[in-house]
Amino acid sequence: MTTFSRHVFVPLLLTLMLPAVASAQWAAKPGETVRNGFGPLKGESASMCRGACGLGCPSSCKTRVSYECLDSDRLIRVKSYICSTHQGCREHDDCLDACEKRGIEGLDCGAYCHSEAVETYGVENAVAWAAGGGPTDGPPIFFQYTHEAPDMPEPAFRCPEGSKVHCARKKGSCIIAGAGDIEPVFDSYPSADPGAMRIAGFRSGHLCGES
């Protein structure tokens, strides 16, 4: 894009995008706990951890896996990300999400929103945020996910044979006598069609794409 066309195009783009950015609700605020929070896109393209500094849920976020009791026999797997945040990161994510939702032809949303962050907050801060670093402007955001796309069914888990479900304040675990806690195994997709897959011995472990 030439300097002249940029001077003409960017003000027009801002006029189109400002209402969407102003009403964007995707980026969480410092200290919030957000359950299954995604950007506006669907499927595997949906962005996670909106408002965190870094790409998606960056490796700089602390992670943990826990289980909650769904009923007396089944558990829900919850993967949590504890991520740093700053106003610049939240504005950047809202810019990306608003741009992608509007689908403006010929616009590279990433390049545009990155350049806005650099112009507003400086190169040093923008580079640090892109890598998942600081500075920050408040307590971290707690993101919780029970599935990894907005239209993906939520899996349920059960305790392996010989163990039993233990629930305390909604938190769940599988206990086997003399051995303590044991990993749950995949059971089914409760919200899916009646004929959805059910595998008896599939261990929960890491989901695809996790290290």
**Dihedral through CA 146, CA 100, CA 54, CA 34, nearest 10?**
-30
Highest mean pLDDT among 12-21, 23-32, 139-148, 192-201: 139-148
**Residue 185: is its pLDDT beyond 60?**
yes
Query: What is the average pLDDT across 3-14?
Result: 44
With a threshold of 0.85, does the pTM exceed it? no
Q: What is the pLDDT of residue 9?
A: 47
Between CA 10 and CA 19 the distance in angstroms is 15
Gap between the terminal Cα atoms of the chain: 40
Q: Mean pLDDT throughout 80-90? A: 98
> pLDDT value at position 105?
66
CA dist 26 and 43 (Å) reads: 16
**pLDDT value at position 166?**
94
Q: Are 152 and 44 in contact, with CB atoms under 8 Å apart?
A: no
Above 70 in pLDDT, residue 110? Answer: yes
Please say if the pLDDT value at position 169 is more than 80.
yes
Give me the pLDDT at residue 81, please. Answer: 98
What mean pLDDT comes out for the span 190-207?
A: 51
Which phi and psi (to 5°) does residue 128 adopt? -65, -40
